[in-house]
Structure formats: structure tokens, C-alpha cells
Structure 1
Amino acid sequence: MGRGEHETELSIARRRGMSNSYWIGVDLGKQSLDAAVAEVGGPTAQWMRLPAASFETNPGLAPLVRWAQAQLDGGAVAGVCIESTGRLGWRFMETLGDALGPVSMVNPARTKAFGDSLGQRDKTDRADACVLAFYGATMQPPPTAKPSAVLQELRECNRLFSALSTDKQAYQKRLLDGPASALVRKELQQTIRALERRMAKMQEHMDNLIAADRSMKDDVERITSIKGVGPRTALVLLAELGDLRRFSRNELASYVGLYPRCHESGSSVRKRPRMVKRGGAAIRKALYLCAMSARVHNPQMRRLFQRLTQNGKAPMAALGAIMRKLLLLARSLLVNNTVYDPCHT
């Protein structure tokens, strides 16, 4: 059993008209987790009085499952709501399996705003678990599909490659500063060469993963058919987004953070729209480099850049539009199973 007991029985919060369907909110931690149970249709005022408990993660999730099932009182679990926490969340999904119900991994920014709307004052694990449970019962987010083993491997390798690249750039900058010590210069050079070898090894492994998966290999070929988009960008898109076909156009642009945010109020506030820059920073970085190349070497993107700047758009805003265009174009090629044709786009 967990460290703490739930503070109130679910029967206390029972009200007429409830669906007898429940959502379980779980606030994940490395050493422990907190869980809460909320009934669909439950009163908003009761969100802080939801039954909740804390569990150590070492014994596994069996105590959590037993406790959660004991709170249902014959009802059914509609879903389990957790925040997107990287490996911690995926490990939880894999370990839990189908023991309780489908797991929905949600954006922490959404649950934070939802908690603020409820008047959440305390930032505790128990309170976060209650917010997650009530968010699930209210919003009923769709289940999150678990990525394939190949995609997980590709994603982790790509992120390590990016980290190694960042380290390499940092050491190169230190070397360019011209250290006076010959020993320091030697150590920096050796470190840079070692990082380059590790990056080459990682890149080879990722190339082999894609070559062994026919679907990914075909997707890379379609994406790289766009003039200005190289294999590295295609790899980043697949590693971070998975199958682009699962997104609609607006969902994809929103997920990556490539849409303008307006800031207007009354007659006096008229700020210039700006890109929100939320979501996948690594994807935006790769697309920005592609946009810089495409505006010169891709006639279609060059015309788009010229048209936008002639209409008064700032050069950076025009580049943002090219980034969005390249992303949606890559999705369109995958959806239609075709390659880039500048005459038909």
C-alpha cells in the first residue's frame, strides 16, 4: 500500500446523475507517484476532496492498481490521465499496460491552466493528481498511442545526437577563444574528435534503423524530395513526430508551434502577431535551417518569400511562413504517397 491513505471516501462525493465512470489522475515521480480518482460528472467544488494516495515506485504498480479498483465501487475506468514527462510517462504506460484502462498523456501546460481555472493554490503532488483526475473526467482526452520500438529507438538516438552536437559546438567555441595553455588546447581537440566519432556512430545507427524499416525509408525519400529539405531534417521530423499522417494540418502546425499569436484588446492594443514558438523546439530549429536554404534554392519557396516581404511582412515572419509551408508540404507528400512536384504544389 502507498505511503498515504485517501482522505475521503468516494461515496462521500457521490451525487445524483453521475455516470459511474471514472478517471484516474497520476502525478509521476522517479521515486513515488500520487494518484486520485474522479467520477465523470462530479461537482467542481469537490475536486480537492477526491480520494488520493501516494505509492512508492519500487514495488511496481500493483498497489496502485489494487487501490484504484477499490475506489470504483462497481464503476468502470474511462481512462488514466498523466502529464507528458518523457521517458517517465512512456515507462509508466508500458508497465501499467491494460491493468486499469487506456492512458492519456496530456500537455502539462493544459493541466496547469485547468488547475488555475479551478483555483488551485497549492503546488503539491496530491493536488496535481487531483487536477489530472478532474481534467480527465471533464475533458476526456483521447488515449495516447504508444510509439513502436523502432520509433522509440530512433527518437532517443536522435536526441543523444543533438546533445552531442551541442557539446561539440561548445568545445569548438572554447577552442576558438584561443586558450593559452597547450594542454587545454590539446584536450579540447581530443574531446572534439571523440564527440565527432560518437556522432558518426550514432548517425550510422539511425541510418540503419531507417533502412531496415521500409515505411520509414519511403517516408524519408518523400520528404527529402522537397528541394531544401535534407536527410537530417527528415530524420528529425520522423523521430520527434512519428507518422505525420496522424495529424491534421492545423494540429501539426500547432504541435510544432508554427502559428501566429495575435495580441489585441480594444482600440489601443494592436501588437504585431508573433510566432508562438511552443512545442517542438528541435523541429523548429531544423525547419529554420531548411527555410534558409529553400528561400534561395527552391523556386516555390523563393517566390513565397518575395511575395510576403513585398506585402510588408518582416523577413523573419516570411521565413516562419516557409517553415510552416515545408512542414505541411512534408505531411501532404506522406498522406498522398507521392514525391515533391513544384508544378503541382
Structure 2
Amino acid sequence: MKKVFFVGADVSKEKIDFCFLTSVENVKPKFVTLPNDTETIKAYFHPFIKDDIFIAFEYTNNYHLPLQSALSDLKIKYSALSPAKTSYFLKHLTLQKSDITDAYGLALYCRIFKSDLNPSTYNHEYNLIKSYNSTILLLSKIQTQLKNFKKSQDFVADTELSEIIKSLTVQVQKTQEKLKLIAFEILKSFVPNCEQIIKENKGFGIDLALNLFPQLHFNRAKSEKQFISFLGLSPRIYESGSSVHKSPKINKRGSSAIRRVLFLTALVSSRYNAKFKQRYETLVSKGKNKKVALVAVMCAIVRYLKSLFPLNENYINESLYHTHAG
């Protein structure tokens, strides 16, 4: 007979604290601490592969990747949760915060909400693209900081220092462009038609491809409505009684970087892309706010691109459960 386990994992750089709960409420929890190492985690959890086990943990930069990779190799179900979503639950349980209490809270969260948790998957290519995008975004912030710093030093800096700052800014920009080209080659390895999509649609660029296409590719199982909500573009209703009725706004639960790129794409597409220009102008002519019309264009772009990433028979085998231990 299969044993049932609900496991919470508190991940840190050096170690992972696990809390094991069963379906029986009066059974004491079991706590285990393991080094954050893929092979060690695989060796420990290998005896559990025949049991009904589900593990929940929070995204922690990239420290959760060894755990994610190990569980994927063992085909153990797990869910990588957003800390913003679980923090309120954990704070409600206790005022104390430690690795042990967090692991217990996540195990309890897993046991209570297991039916509502969607199993996560690990994919090396997706995480690699994500890492490149994070680095590119970091360099963009550095460029802005250098630009602002140069302005603040104009009254005191000499020619030599100004040239050094200027040279550094150019070098950062060149490095950013180089990273984009490398990341785009990686993207083309699993989305071969990404270059064609960009060429055939005015307003679409490499930034949109790098940020949005990996999400479209690895989330093909989601419907259009689910994916738009996943990106944080679905309306958030705020009402209370008969007196509080705020205007609907997008929920902003997804990646702000993707929404930023989508907004800029919508801004250009609403002027130069016939597919979306008419929709924008129609909404504005009906009295819609220009920002509201742009959000509608953002959603239209997502729906259009979603149609180019259909769910096929090989999706589960080739993409969703593709794992890589590297």
C-alpha cells in the first residue's frame, strides 16, 4: 500500500530543511536537513518514488534548481510556489520565523491545498534563457545608473573621468547586445520559428522573443485566458458592499519584465502593425482610455502569439517533462 506524504522544503544556498506530514493529522511531523546538492537529494528521495508524495517549496533565486532537477529526474510531483503567495499563510501560522517553521508551514500548505496546486516542471533551456534575461535586465539598470551618475558628476569630473564613464557605458551596452544574441540562439534551438515571427510582425523584436516566447513554449497546456492571467493582464475586481466599486485594473501577478516588454511592443504595434492598429483605434474611438486600449492590444498580441504555440501530441514528452541535470 502506498504511503502518502506532504513535504515542505525550505531552500537556502547551502542546505534544505524538509518537513514530512502524512494524511493523518495527529502524526508528528518529521524533519530532515540535507545539503543543497542534486545527487544527495536524489539518493535520499529515491525510496519514495513508489509512494504518493508531493513536495512544495518557494522560488529562491536559483537555489531551488538542484532540488527541482532531482525531483524531476525521480518523477516526484512538486510545486514551486511564489513567496508572495505563501508568505501570508506562513505568517498566519506563527510569529516566529525559522527554517524549520517555514518547512512545516509549506508542508501544511501542501496538505491543505494539494488539489489546487499545479505540479511544476524543470527545464534546463527555460532556466538558462531566464538567467540570460536577468543578466540583460541587470545591465540595463547599470546603464541607467551610469547615465545618472555621469550627470551628477558633470560639475566636478574632469575630461579623463568623463571618458572613463562614457567608455564603461559603451562596454556595458555592447555586453548586453552580445548576451541578447547568445540568448536568441538558445531560444531558436527550441523555438525554431521565432525569427520568422519577428520578421512577419512589425513592432515585434528580440526583447519580446526572449521574454515571452519561452513562457509561451513551456506553458502551452494553459488556455488563452489562463495564460493572460498568468502574465498578470487579467482584470482585478475590487468591490465591497454597495459603496466600494473601484475600476477594474490588471492584477499584475506575473512577470513585470514581460509586461514592460509587451507594453512597448503594443505601443509600436498600435501604430505600425495592421493586425493591432485597427483594434487600438476602434477602442479609442469608442471612448476608451488610451492605456486601457493598449492593455487590450497587449492581450491581443498574447492571443495571437498563443495561436502560434499550439499544444501538440509530443508536448508532454519533448517539452513539459524534458529534464536536464546540468
Partner of 1:284: 259
Q: Amino acid of the residue matched to residue 36 of structure 1? A: C
Moved more, 328-337 or 187-196: 328-337
Residues 57, 302 of structure 1: CA spacing in aligned structure 2 closer, same or farther, 3 A cutoff? closer
Determine helix, strand or coil for the equivalent of 2:96.
Answer: coil
2-structure distance, mates of 1:184, 1:240: 43
Residue 193 of structure 1: which of 170, 174, 195 is its match? 170
Instruction: State yes or no: 1:327 paired with 2:302.
Output: yes
TM-score (norm 2): 0.81
| 8 Å Cα contact 1:79-1:100 kept in structure 2 | no
Residue 14 of structure 2: which of 6, 24, 31 is its match? 31
| 8 Å Cα contact 2:232-2:253 kept in structure 1 | yes
2-structure distance, mates of 1:39, 1:100: 20
Query: Per-residue CA shift, 1:14-53, capped at 9, x if unaligned?
Result: xxxxx8411211110113321111223x44xx69x52224
2-structure distance, mates of 1:289, 1:59: 40
Partner of 2:108: 134
Partner of 1:317: 292
Determine helix, strand or coil for the equivalent of 2:308.
Answer: helix
Residues 176, 327 of structure 1: CA spacing in aligned structure 2 closer, same or farther, 3 A cutoff? farther
Residue 89 of structure 1: which of 64, 74, 83 is its match? 64
| 8 Å Cα contact 1:171-1:192 kept in structure 2 | yes
| 8 Å Cα contact 1:25-1:35 kept in structure 2 | yes
Partner of 1:202: 179
1-structure distance, mates of 2:198, 2:78: 31
| 8 Å Cα contact 2:37-2:66 kept in structure 1 | no
Q: CA RMSD in A?
A: 3.2
2-structure distance, mates of 1:189, 1:20: 63
Moved more, 55-64 or 311-320: 55-64
1-structure distance, mates of 2:294, 2:42: 52
1:87, CA displacement in angstroms?
A: 1.3
1:135, CA displacement in angstroms?
A: 2.1
1:331, CA displacement in angstroms?
A: 0.8
Unaligned runs of 5+ in 2: 313-326
Q: Amino acid of the residue matched to residue 121 of structure 2? A: A
Instruction: State yes or no: 1:121 paired with 2:100.
Output: no
Instruction: State yes or no: 1:76 paired with 2:51.
Output: yes
Determine helix, strand or coil for the equivalent of 1:279.
Answer: coil
1:234, CA displacement in angstroms?
A: 1.3
1-structure distance, mates of 2:168, 2:283: 44
| 8 Å Cα contact 1:30-1:88 kept in structure 2 | yes
Query: Per-residue CA shift, 1:115-146, capped at 9, x if unaligned?
Result: 46x64433322122112112222322333221
Query: Per-residue CA shift, 1:172-224, capped at 9, x if unaligned?
Result: 2333453431233122111112112212321232233244x2x4121442355
Determine helix, strand or coil for the equivalent of 2:64.
Answer: helix
Higher relative CO (Cα under 8 Å, sequence separation at least 6) belongs to: 2
Identity in percent: 22
Higher CA-based Rg: 1
| 8 Å Cα contact 1:26-1:35 kept in structure 2 | yes
| 8 Å Cα contact 1:222-1:334 kept in structure 2 | no
Q: What is the aligned residue count?
A: 308
Residue 265 of structure 1: which of 211, 216, 240 is its match? 240
1:164-179 map, 5 Å: 164-177=139-152, 178-179=154-155
Q: Amino acid of the residue matched to residue 82 of structure 1? A: F
Residue 110 of structure 1: which of 56, 71, 85 is its match? 85
2-structure distance, mates of 1:134, 1:61: 24
Residue 156 of structure 2: which of 163, 166, 180 is its match? 180
Partner of 1:7: none
| 8 Å Cα contact 1:244-1:334 kept in structure 2 | no
Unaligned runs of 5+ in 1: 1-18, 338-345
Moved more, 134-143 or 269-278: 134-143
TM-score (norm 1): 0.77
Determine helix, strand or coil for the equivalent of 1:334.
Answer: coil
Residues 20, 57 of structure 1: CA spacing in aligned structure 2 closer, same or farther, 3 A cutoff? closer
| 8 Å Cα contact 1:21-1:39 kept in structure 2 | yes
2-structure distance, mates of 1:109, 1:257: 14
| 8 Å Cα contact 2:220-2:310 kept in structure 1 | yes
Determine helix, strand or coil for the equivalent of 1:271.
Answer: strand
2-structure distance, mates of 1:65, 1:268: 56
2-structure distance, mates of 1:63, 1:283: 34
2-structure distance, mates of 1:260, 1:249: 14
Instruction: State yes or no: 1:305 paired with 2:305.
Output: no
Moved more, 279-288 or 290-299: 290-299
1-structure distance, mates of 2:155, 2:34: 52
Partner of 1:15: none
2-structure distance, mates of 1:150, 1:250: 25
Residues 223, 335 of structure 1: CA spacing in aligned structure 2 closer, same or farther, 3 A cutoff? farther
